[in-house]
Amino acid sequence: MSKRNKIIALIVILMVSGSTFIRWYVFEIDAQTNVLLSLISSFVLFSTVVFFRKLYAYFDKVLPYDEGVFKRLIPQILITFVFLNLLTRLVLYLGIEIFRIEKFRFLVRSELTHLARVTGTVTQVLAVGLLNLTHFTYYSIQKWQENQLRASNLEKEKSQVQFDNLKNQLNPHFLFNSLTSLDSLIQDDPALAREFLQQLSKVFRYVLKSKEKGLVSLETELGFIKNYVSLLKTRFADALVIVFDIADDTLDLQITPVTLQILIENATKHNIINESNPLRIEIKTEGDVLSISNNLQRKKQLETSNGQGLINLQTLYGFLSNREITVTETDQYFTVTIPLI
């Protein structure tokens, strides 16, 4: 039974129980008659619920809430009330005129008839109101959840597109610098130039292959990043120090492709790197978390950057894991921790 049906069943039970109590306490109706009336009330309310389900299913097609809440609710409430009222009268008529139930005839003709009718009418109004309120509340919650899910999916798609753009293109400055280094190596050291070119092709091959992948193993990402680091070392030599401290039991855990490349690129872009001021980057695992930390020696003037790489990475991981990327900056160090999935 769905949650909505459970709520409606609870409403019917409460209405029947309340009516039974009122008949016993206010009208002092004997137990046998009260049980009979309770069964009839249950039948009437159950039939009304069935009718109401058919009615709102029909209205969902011809008069949805999107076309106007009151435009939909007013006829729905009136039709349901008329049905309930007519069904109640029909049951009483059948009980008196067809089945000749004397207790019914006595109740109708007793001095309490007017008060009983008022109470019955109030009960009918309350039942119809609760039915419609329950349905409209359920509809509103369902609509809100759909909108939230749609908004979440759109935000995720937007974040994925933005991150895919990062995966599809390495920093143009990196490519320019790599080609410049390759040009000088071709003349000075052809063998090293060939090795450099092989590493460069591996880097771009990885980026192309990872286009269609949402996650890769940490071992795969490290294999790529070591080729990327080799290219950087050709440019920066001993001025760039990158240390890996990776536990073997974390290699099968997953990470978004080019995550490490983005973070290393950020570090080399924003910090001074020379022999007298070497940049040290430490990449290590701590449990199921990957930590990337570098010493701070910020440049006064930065290369062109929109600052979206880390932001897009944080947004994307927000959808992939219930743990967030954390960024910590002190006077001496800048640290990013990535949850391994």
Torsion region of 136: left, alpha or beta (phi above 0 gives left; psi -120 to 50 gives alpha): alpha
What does the alpha-carbon distance between residue 143 and residue 60 come to, in Å, rounded to a whole number? 13
Whether pTM > 0.75 for this model: the answer is: no
Torsion region of 306: left, alpha or beta (phi above 0 gives left; psi -120 to 50 gives alpha): alpha
CATH 3.30.565-classified regions of the chain: 169-339
CATH topology of domain 169-339: Heat Shock Protein 90 (3.30.565)
CA 11 to chain centre: 31
Per-residue pLDDT of the chain (341 residues; tens, 9 = 90+): 566 566 666 666 776 676 667 666 665 566 666 666 667 777 777 888 888 888 888 888 888 888 888 888 888 888 888 888 888 778 777 766 655 555 555 555 544 455 556 666 777 788 788 888 888 888 888 888 887 877 777 666 665 665 555 555 555 666 776 777 777 778 777 887 888 888 888 887 777 776 667 788 999 999 888 888 888 888 888 899 999 999 999 999 999 888 888 898 889 888 999 989 999 999 999 999 999 999 999 887 765 555 566 777 777 777 777 888 999 999 899 999 999 98
SS3 285: strand
